């Protein structure tokens, strides 16, 4: 057993220092920002080493930090699974902290020490959420994570839109927390064995099936809200654009993953094998989230809202892997279950890497142009070549294109889904497995379309506005903190075994599977073949005609083309909007003004909106019902303090009678 006490204490100390020191040095914003970021980065480095060692150590590490409440001890329990999540969280936050030092200069005049305070506590609480081993401390840090991230989202609170987004975020995640708490309390009352995860896991096999199913559903809804599964994803596209880009990178890259951790820990580790419909439900939720998320992403022109919808998509893909694992688990096939869960967890890491890369890229674009609307951009590859290349790596990764990491993990998920079909348990499951594969293929194609649009419209062609034409490359600090993420996209894409095998071991530990076989992949060979072929073809072309290329104006039927003749994002996505209109419900309004005849139009006004079916059919009725109900109950709220004391007294009596 590795001794990690010292490192863990240092991690805690650095995060706390990073939170407190900036507040003390409030008078010197530049120094306080620098120290806050540096402290978070140092803590990140240490936490990364703790995480990696925890992930590779066969024995879990237990570190006690003393009692925080009578009977509730703050203990850190780092097994392979927790180690993996700590490593993923620290890796991303480490680089984001370095990036923030330059990026936050954009917010001069705002309360930057407060940002440092919330950011450090936010990262600390995420690290603790995935390592604590009892439910009380889990909930404490879960809440701390939510509240600090709320303040990060509402950092620019003077804008009304930001306040609105923050409100939606905190209300929805708290509704989710209610479900998580219910799951915990049902487990606690069912087992009566204490708050520790280990106690729960020991008692849970004795629970009746129906209770377990209720706990499962509560956990799925509760953690699903945080993760952003459809239809509980509404807060994501609101909160991400409102937050500063470095915060969105952390929230989308890793905070959503703490919810995945919660699901794996509670549903798979604590509840144990369930009926196969649990896995089926998770798989279905994954498929729906993936497809719906990416279709809506394609309709967005706000770079950060677009990326937010892609988070919904990728959470869906992760859940497809987790769901496949649960299905195998219910069939008592530990090894296959471990491989499927490892595939899902691998996508957790990959999504964390490429999504934070993309959000940081969007941040750099915003830094240079002060615009997030891709219709206002264009031609940035000439002005910001490094940012463009880094963003392109992220775009190829998220589109699941070989030889980068998005393909590597989606490939493993394909294999797991196919595994469901190979086993021939029943016809329904075979069809379900293959259909899930088709959905994954559809998701990949739509994601590719979306990123051809996102990258092509904002970085290629001619600049569409003056802001875009005057953009300059961002400071080196920002570029250099994005580069390791891009390198990781390539390395984990070419050598997935490096991560997959430890993950399979971690998953094997959860399913208590016998020796999980060593996974071998062909990705490095494929990358080598591609590289060799492209190089050979280039050489052939050089031999055939030398390397000369002549540059000239684009052909535009006799006119010299300008930016107004370029394809826009709206026109790029029009065919998809039309083909998937039953889902998107586009509402179009065109007003043309003619001078004389329909052939001499001088002005045309075009607008098109898409409807959110979830909002119209789920949230609006719910909101209406809530308002009607609240109006009916308003009479009990009269503002008289004596009456409220009376309510409390009556409640107390009732509780005493109940628990007699």
Residues 369-388 that bind another protein (CB under 8 A): 378-379, 381-382, 385, 388
Q: Residue 199 contacts by C-beta under 8 Å, 6 or more apart in sequence? A: 191, 193
Is 474 among the residues that bind another protein (CB under 8 A)? no
CB of residue 303 vs another protein: minimum separation in angstroms? Answer: 16
Q: Which is nearer to another protein, 87 or 398 (CB)?
A: 398
Is 654 among the residues that bind another protein (CB under 8 A)? no
CB of residue 11 vs another protein: minimum separation in angstroms? Answer: 39
Q: Which of 9, 476, 567, 594 binds another protein (CB under 8 A)?
A: 567
Tokens of 540: 């052939």
Q: Which is nearer to another protein, 267 or 287 (CB)?
A: 287
d(CA 238, CA 531): 41
Is 548 among the residues that bind another protein (CB under 8 A)? yes
Q: Which of 71, 545, 598, 639 binds another protein (CB under 8 A)?
A: 545
Phi, psi of 547 (to 5 degrees): -100, 10
Is 217 among the residues that bind another protein (CB under 8 A)? no
Tokens of 268: 């798979």
Is 576 among the residues that bind another protein (CB under 8 A)? yes
Contact 311, 252 (CB under 8 A): yes
Q: What is the DSSP string of 594-637?
A: ESSSTT-EEEEEEEEEE--HHIIIIIHHHHHHHHHHHHHHGGG-
Contact 110, 22 (CB under 8 A): no
Stretch that binds another protein, among 106-114, 175-183, 441-449, 493-501 (CB under 8 A): 441-449
Q: Which of 13, 65, 186, 448 binds another protein (CB under 8 A)?
A: 448
Q: Which is nearer to another protein, 111 or 521 (CB)?
A: 521
Stretch that binds another protein, among 30-38, 275-283, 503-511, 546-554 (CB under 8 A): 546-554
CB of residue 372 vs another protein: minimum separation in angstroms? Answer: 19
Tokens of 95: 């680089």
Is 563 among the residues that bind another protein (CB under 8 A)? yes
Contact 464, 565 (CB under 8 A): no
Is 525 among the residues that bind another protein (CB under 8 A)? yes
Number of residues that bind another protein (CB under 8 A): 80
Stretch that binds another protein, among 105-113, 351-359, 450-458, 652-660 (CB under 8 A): 450-458
Phi, psi of 3 (to 5 degrees): -100, 110
Is 399 among the residues that bind another protein (CB under 8 A)? yes
Q: From the CB of residue 610, how many other CB atoms can be counted at a distance below 10 Å? A: 18
Q: Which is nearer to another protein, 509 or 568 (CB)?
A: 568
CB of residue 312 vs another protein: minimum separation in angstroms? Answer: 17
Is 529 among the residues that bind another protein (CB under 8 A)? yes
Is 171 among the residues that bind another protein (CB under 8 A)? no
Alpha helices in 331-383 (DSSP H): 334-369, 380-383
Contact 129, 110 (CB under 8 A): no
d(CA 80, CA 73): 21
Stretch that binds another protein, among 345-353, 573-581, 617-625, 629-637 (CB under 8 A): 573-581
CB of residue 185 vs another protein: minimum separation in angstroms? Answer: 41
Beta bridge partners of 76: 63, 132
Q: Which is nearer to another protein, 122 or 296 (CB)?
A: 296
Q: Residue 622 contacts by C-beta under 8 Å, 6 or more apart in sequence? A: none
Stretch that binds another protein, among 245-253, 302-310, 348-356, 395-403 (CB under 8 A): 395-403
Sign of the four-CA dihedral 523, 529, 533, 539: positive
d(CA 485, CA 522): 22
d(CA 552, CA 583): 43
d(CA 322, CA 300): 28
d(CA 448, CA 371): 23
Is 71 among the residues that bind another protein (CB under 8 A)? no
Q: From the CB of residue 557, how many other CB atoms can be counted at a distance below 10 Å? A: 6
Is 103 among the residues that bind another protein (CB under 8 A)? no
Is 434 among the residues that bind another protein (CB under 8 A)? yes
Contact 371, 377 (CB under 8 A): yes
CB of residue 296 vs another protein: minimum separation in angstroms? Answer: 14
Q: Which is nearer to another protein, 567 or 647 (CB)?
A: 567
Is 102 among the residues that bind another protein (CB under 8 A)? no
Q: Which of 422, 476, 644, 649 binds another protein (CB under 8 A)?
A: 422
């Amino acid at each position: 057993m590795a001794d990690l006490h010292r490192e863990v204490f240092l991690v805690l100390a650095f995060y706390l220092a990073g939170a407190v020191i900036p507040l003390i040095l409030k008078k010197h914003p530049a120094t306080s920002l620098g120290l806050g970021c540096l402290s978070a980065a140092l803590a990140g480095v240490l936490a990364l080493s703790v995480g990696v060692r925890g992930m590779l150590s066969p024995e879990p590490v237990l570190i006690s930090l003393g009692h925080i409440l009578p009977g509730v001890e703050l203990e850190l329990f780092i097994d392979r699974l927790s180690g993996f999540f700590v490593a993923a969280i620290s890796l991303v936050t480490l680089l984001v902290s370095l990036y923030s030092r330059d990026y936050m200069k954009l917010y001069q005049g705002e309360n930057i020490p407060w940002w440092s305070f919330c950011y450090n506590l936010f990262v600390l609480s995420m690290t603790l959420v995935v390592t604590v081993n009892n439910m009380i401390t889990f909930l404490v840090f879960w809440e701390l994570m939510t509240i600090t991230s709320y303040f990060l989202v509402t950092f620019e609170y003077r804008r009304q839109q930001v306040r609105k987004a923050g409100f939606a975020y905190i209300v929805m995640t708290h509704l989710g927390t209610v479900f998580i708490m219910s799951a915990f309390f049902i487990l606690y009352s069912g087992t009566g064995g204490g708050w520790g995860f280990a106690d729960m896991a020991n008692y849970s096999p004795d629970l009746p099936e129906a209770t377990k199913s209720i706990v499962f559903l509560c956990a799925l809804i509760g953690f699903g809200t945080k993760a952003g599964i459809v239809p509980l994803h509404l807060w994501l596209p609101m909160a991400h654009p409102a937050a500063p880009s470095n915060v969105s990178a952390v929230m989308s890259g890793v905070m959503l993953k703490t919810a995945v951790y919660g699901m794996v820990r509670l549903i798979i580790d604590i509840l144990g094998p369930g009926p196969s419909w649990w896995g089926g439900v998770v798989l279905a939720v994954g498929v729906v989230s993936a497809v719906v998320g990416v279709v809506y992403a394609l309709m967005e022109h706000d770079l950060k809202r677009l990326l937010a919808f892609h988070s919904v998509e990728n959470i869906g893909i992760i859940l497809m892997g987790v769901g496949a694992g649960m299905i195998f688990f219910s069939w008592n096939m530990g090894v296959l279950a471990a491989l499927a869960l490892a595939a899902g967890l691998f996508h957790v890491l990959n999504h964390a890497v490429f999504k934070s890369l993309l959000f940081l890229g969007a941040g750099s674009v915003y830094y240079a142009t002060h615009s997030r609307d891709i219709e206002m951009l264009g031609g940035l590859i000439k002005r910001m070549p490094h940012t463009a290349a880094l963003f392109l790596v992220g775009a190829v990764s998220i589109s699941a294109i070989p030889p980068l990491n998005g393909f590597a993990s989606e490939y493993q998920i394909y294999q797991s889904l196919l595994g469901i079909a190979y086993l021939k348990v029943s016809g329904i499951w075979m069809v379900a497995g293959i259909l899930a594969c088709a959905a994954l293929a559809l998701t990949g194609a739509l994601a590719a379309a979306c990123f051809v649009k996102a990258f092509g419209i904002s970085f290629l062609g001619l600049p569409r506005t003056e802001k875009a034409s005057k953009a300059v490359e961002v400071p080196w600090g920002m570029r250099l903190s994005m580069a390791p993420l891009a390198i990781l996209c390539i390395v984990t894409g070419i050598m997935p075994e490096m991560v997959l095998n430890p993950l399979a071991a971690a998953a094997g530990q959860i399913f208590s599977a016998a020796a999980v076989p060593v996974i071998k992949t062909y990705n490095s060979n494929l990358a080598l073949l591609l590289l060799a072929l492209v190089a050979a073809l280039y050489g052939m072309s050089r031999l055939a005609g030398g390397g000369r290329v002549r540059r000239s104006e684009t052909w535009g039927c006799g006119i010299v083309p300008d930016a107004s003749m370029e394809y826009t994002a709206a026109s790029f996505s029009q065919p998809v909007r039309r083909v998937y209109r039953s889902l998107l419900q586009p509402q179009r309004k065109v007003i043309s003004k003619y001078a004389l005849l329909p052939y001499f139009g001088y002005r045309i006004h075009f607008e098109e909106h898409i409807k959110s079916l979830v909002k119209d059919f789920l949230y609006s009725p719910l909101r209406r019902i809530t308002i009607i109900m609240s109006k009916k109950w308003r009479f009990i709220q009269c503002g008289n303090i004596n009456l409220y004391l009376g309510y409390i007294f009556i409640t107390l009596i009732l509780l005493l009678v109940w628990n007699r």
